[in-house]
């Protein structure tokens, strides 16, 4: 099956996806009978570009090295260009040459915008939607899923919780048959990396700077270090597990900025480690409690198998006891893999 793709945002994640598509083209065709064709891209640095038959993949991948000058992309006859406004992006999403919208922009954790508008427009226009963006899902997930169902399209979001490490699909597939009463996890790669570096002797400022250089942290790391990012992820996981419509604002939140470098290093010397932990638990009456905050964990805790920018989450189940999933929680190619896995899942669903 052939999918024409619109990439919304062409930063690390969607640029990484373009690289992965080029790398995996033959395998995707041979193994899954699937062809991925990028027909449209929107990014605040160059606006919108599209071609009904597909954009030049090599020229797209070369954009960052060329300062996002799109001359080589536009050299293909028939390529069109628009501006960088939200209205122009929303118009591009609705083009007939787009089947699947892949949304990977920055989002405001309080409003979900502009990603929420991208997502609503895609689904309303009858486009399949894949996003790694936590805001729309945490703030309006039920409404978006209802809209997708109404329009007969798929809405997939594996990369929203632990980047490339499959967690939501574990719940949907491999853990069916288990009742899960709670979870607790290291769900932010930036904070995990920063605390690991501080334990090793770095200052908080230097550790955050290094995380930014490595692509783990945004230019403004506030959403990470103040716990906003994990708050959204706890809401997504809780709603995936229990469908209770939990809102991020209902989850108590504290970041790591209240910890001192001395506290972090002393804990390690005592056989403990400070980590930012997101938790959710279903109570006997069916209500859900959610929290985000730093916790002092013994070094024997399985969550501490997640080093550096890795993440881990432990589910409390009735049949398996405590089960921990660990893997990459940040990184452009890791998150791009989550989008690729959603595209393969989309292909499987449509073929059924």
Tell me the catalytic residues.
233
Predicted local confidence at residue 170, as pLDDT: 87
Predicted local confidence at residue 351, as pLDDT: 84
CB atoms within 10 A of CB 76: 14
CATH number for 168-329: choose from 3.40.50.2030, 3.30.360.10, 3.40.50.970, 3.40.50.300: 3.30.360.10
Predicted local confidence at residue 221, as pLDDT: 92
Q: How far apart are CA 207 and CA 202, in angstroms?
A: 6
- The answer to whether residues 127 and 98 touch, using CB atoms and an 8 Å cutoff, is yes
- Name the 3-class secondary structure at 80: strand
Domain chopping of the chain, boundaries: 2-163+333-351, 168-329
Q: Which residues, at least 6 apart from 156, have a Cβ–Cβ distance to it below 8 Å? A: 128, 129, 130, 131, 342, 345, 346
Q: How far apart are CA 240 and CA 234, in angstroms?
A: 10
Pairing relationship of beta strands 180-186 and 272-282 according to DSSP bridges? antiparallel
HSE value, Cβ hemisphere, 13 Å, CA-based, for 252 = 10
CA distances from 52 to 41, 80, 99 (A): 12, 9, 11
| C-alpha triplet 331, 335, 338: angle, nearest 5° | 155
- Name the 3-class secondary structure at 60: helix
* pLDDT mean by block of 10 residues, the chain; 352 residues: 97 95 97 97 97 97 96 95 96 98 88 95 98 93 96 96 90 91 96 96 96 85 94 95 90 97 96 98 92 97 92 96 89 90 96 78
Predicted local confidence at residue 163, as pLDDT: 87
Predicted local confidence at residue 172, as pLDDT: 85
The dotted CATH code for 2-163+333-351 is 3.40.50.720
pTM, 2 dp:
0.92
- Name the 3-class secondary structure at 53: coil
Contacts 24+ apart (CB under 8 A), 81-85: 81/47, 81/48, 81/49, 82/47, 82/48, 82/49, 83/47, 83/48, 84/42, 84/43, 84/44, 84/45, 84/46, 84/47, 84/48
Nearest to 158 by CA among 309, 351, 334, 285: 334
Predicted local confidence at residue 245, as pLDDT: 85
Give the containing element (helix H, strand E) for 41.
Answer: strand 35-43
């Amino acid at each position: 099956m052939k999918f024409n793709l619109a990439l919304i945002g062409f930063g690390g994640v969607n640029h990484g996806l373009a690289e992965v598509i080029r790398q995996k083209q033959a395998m995707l065709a041979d193994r899954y009978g699937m062809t991925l064709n990028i027909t449209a891209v929107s990014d605040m640095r160059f606006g919108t570009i599209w071609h009904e038959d597909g954009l030049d993949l090599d020229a797209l991948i070369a954009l960052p090295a060329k300062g996002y000058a799109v001359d080589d992309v536009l050299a293909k006859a028939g390529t069109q260009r628009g501006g960088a406004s939200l209205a122009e992006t929303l118009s591009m999403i609705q083009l007939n040459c787009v089947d699947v919208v892949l949304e990977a922009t920055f989002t405001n954790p309080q409003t979900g915008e502009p990603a929420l508008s991208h997502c609503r427009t895609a689904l309303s226009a009858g486009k399949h939607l894949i996003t790694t963006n936590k805001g729309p899902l945490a703030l309006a997930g039920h409404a978006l899923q209802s809209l997708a169902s109404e329009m007969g399209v798929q809405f997939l979001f594996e990369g929203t919780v632990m980047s490339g490490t499959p967690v939501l699909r574990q719940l949907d597939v491999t853990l069916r048959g288990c009742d899960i009463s709670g979870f607790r996890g290291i769900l932010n790669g930036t904070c995990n990396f920063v605390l690991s570096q501080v334990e090793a002797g770095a200052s908080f400022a230097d550790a955050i700077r290094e995380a930014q250089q490595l692509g783990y942290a945004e230019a403004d790391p506030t959403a990470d270090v103040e716990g906003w990012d994990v708050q959204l992820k706890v809401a997504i996981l809780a709603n995936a597990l229990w469908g209770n419509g939990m809102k991020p604002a209902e989850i108590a939140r504290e970041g790591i900025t209240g910890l001192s470098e001395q506290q972090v290093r002393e804990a390690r010397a005592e056989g403990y480690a400070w980590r930012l932990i997101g938790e959710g638990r279903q109570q006997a009456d069916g209500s859900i409690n959610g929290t985000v905050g730093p916790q002092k964990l013994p070094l024997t805790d399985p969550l501490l198998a997640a080093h550096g920018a890795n993440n881990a989450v432990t589910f409390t189940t009735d049949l398996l006891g405590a089960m921990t999933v660990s893997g990459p929680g940040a990184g452009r190619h890791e998150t791009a893999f989550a989008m690729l896995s959603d595209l393969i899942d989309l292909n499987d669903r449509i073929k059924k």
